[in-house]
Amino acid sequence: MTHVSIIGGGNMGPAIAEVVTRGGNTADIYTSADLDRPIAGDVVVLAVPYPALSTVLGQRASQLEGKIVVDITNPLNFETYDSLTVPADASATSELAAALPNSRVIKAFNTNFAATLASGQVNDQPTTVLIAGDDAGAKSLLTDVVTAGGLRVADAGSLRRARELEALGFLQITLAASEQTSWSAGFALMN
């Protein structure tokens, strides 16, 4: 059984916790009120907005050492919704990996909305979680947790692919924010 700690109590944190527990694993959620509670999981999901990553690192970087750290952020400009805020040759996840050299950092869940994680479907298709990272063991463990929870997984490749996943997440968010799709919609991979 895998224990997953989720930092962030917004919409995504509880939805990811539901996927984890649906598959027979355990999850706990940490909010800003839980600063004195040490991180318990071997897998830690950072379910916070991109601007909050620096705060999380300032408070918990030492607790993340040796753990699998899952970045779900999309580094978009929240004022204009018209661009990503990281350089074109970088990603939020690559920045996080540089800040946590003793952690196993991967990208996942950023191309999913909470509703499709909770329901397990995008229309009539199973929800697919895209995962990118350089640590095959970390990706394999997260894949096992996600598939046990009833979702599909597609390995998007190395950590360098996090940039493309963030662009896809950005596109999905802007389409929903402009009401061209709903917040319960999403992209589906068809086999």
Domains, the chain, ordered by start:
3-177 (3.40.50.720)
pTM: 0.96
Query: What pLDDT shows up at residue 47?
Result: 98
Instruction: Note every long-range contact of 76-80, with CB atoms under 8 Å and residues 24 or more positions apart, other chains counting.
Output: 76/50, 76/169, 76/170, 76/173, 76/174, 78/49, 78/51
Output the pLDDT for position 188: 77
- Which DSSP symbol is given to 105? E
pLDDT of residue 57: 96
Strands 43-46 and 68-71: parallel
pLDDT by 10s per residue, the chain, length 191: 999 999 998 999 999 999 999 999 999 999 988 989 999 999 999 999 999 999 999 999 999 999 999 999 999 998 888 899 999 889 999 999 999 999 999 999 999 999 999 999 998 889 999 999 999 999 999 999 999 999 999 999 999 999 999 999 999 999 998 999 999 888 878 77
What per-residue confidence (pLDDT) applies to 82?
A: 87
E strand intervals along the chain: 3-7, 26-30, 43-46, 68-71, 104-107, 121-122, 125-126, 128-133, 152-157
What integer pLDDT is reported at residue 168 of this predicted model?
95
